[in-house]
Amino acid sequence: MKVLEVNNLHKKIGKKEIIKGVSFSVEEGEIFGFLGPNGAGKTTTIRMLVGLIKPTSGSISICGHDLQKESVEALRNVGAVVENPELYQYLSGMENLMQIARIRKISKEEVLDTIKLVGLENRIDDKVRKYSLGMKQRLGLAASLLSSPKLLILDEPTNGLDPSGILDFREVVKNAAKKRGMAVFVSSHILSEVQNLCDTVAFINDGVIKAVESVVNNSMKTEKDIITLVTTSNKEAVIKEMKTLGFVQSCKITEKGIEIILEANTTSKLVKNLAKEDFNIEEIYKERKGLEQRYMELVEGGIR
């Protein structure tokens, strides 16, 4: 089931068009990454998704409800965690959550279940001012999960967290998505975090989605392959020969050996040519740069 559907979304602020025909959808149980550089349009898109600003044109549907026409019904299905969750520092974690639970008529049993889900059982009665940034992020996540949303929106959720906090938060989000069958929308500019967390990634730049692609085993399909070749032959001779091959785009000597950039799925042709020329090859392997490489291809215009 499609939890979130965005169709041909446009947004103008003054005379400047910020979002230019953005379309994508997020399925139930899917963790969807929204990746792009600062100023690409990520925050503007999120502000439209949560109803803070209206699109100039286009539509947003959440669980079948048009956000423009049925905002209450649509937003009832949404939970969100922004960079710094708003929390009462002088209250305990439990008191913060119970404030929300009373307003939304949520039982204490559901609160306790959510606390367990985010792994705060041992510190939930401490004052929030004593929490680390990672613990505050977990509490903010718990607050957003109390109403059992169908769509969870995370805006730069790991900013400021140390490596341990990032790992913990990632596992909590994956666990929550799996156990509750939520669709999760994650906006970030941190490549490694998106690659390790998401099932699908949309690449946005200058208000335009360049591609929407799947992440499989922490890797992605790329337009080019990068091969490293370790050889005892004359490296200049190898490079000269490689440059005669139409599917090879560039060659250079690096600390590892010879780096060869070639068209995707042409590695076997490269190996055949190397064997034919009888070069002394000690090792040949593919550099699996995954999301980083794909980001450079789509957003930055090529591999650096």
Question: pLDDT tens-digit profile of 269-302?
Answer: 888 887 888 888 888 877 655 676 677 766 765 5
**Residues 75-93 pLDDT 10s:** 999 988 876 677 889 999 9
**Contact of 219 with 65, CB cutoff 8 Å:** no
pLDDT, tens digit (0-9, with 9 covering 90-100), for 154-198: 888 777 777 877 888 888 888 888 888 899 999 887 777 788 888
Contact (Cβ atoms closer than 8 angstroms) between residue 187 and residue 46: yes
Pairing of strands 224-231, 258-263: antiparallel
Q: Give me the mean pLDDT over the 58-69 stretch.
A: 94
Structure confidence at residue 125 as a pLDDT band (50, 70, 90): very high
Element spanning 200, H or E: strand 200-205
Q: Which residue has the higher pLDDT, 33 or 235?
A: 33
What CATH number matches the domain at 224-288, 3.10.20.30, 3.40.30.10, 3.30.70.920, 3.30.310.160?
3.30.70.920
DSSP 1: -
Q: List pLDDT tens digits, range 190-229.
A: 777 788 888 899 989 999 998 888 876 656 566 677 778 7
H-type helices in the chain, by residue range?
A: 42-49, 71-75, 93-104, 108-118, 133-145, 163-180, 191-197, 235-242, 267-277, 291-298
| Mean model confidence pLDDT for the chain | 85
Class of domain 2-214: alpha beta
Residue 287: predicted pLDDT:
66
Cα distance between residue 257 and residue 242, in whole Å: 14
Instruction: Give dist(CA 179, CA 117) in Å, integer.
Output: 9
| Average pLDDT value for residue range 60-70 | 94
Task: Give the model's pLDDT for residue 259.
Answer: 84
pLDDT at 84: 67
Q: Are 195 and 290 in contact (CB under 8 A)?
A: yes
Q: Where are the domains of the chain?
A: 2-214, 224-288
Q: State the pLDDT at residue 252.
A: 85
**pTM for the full predicted model:** 0.74
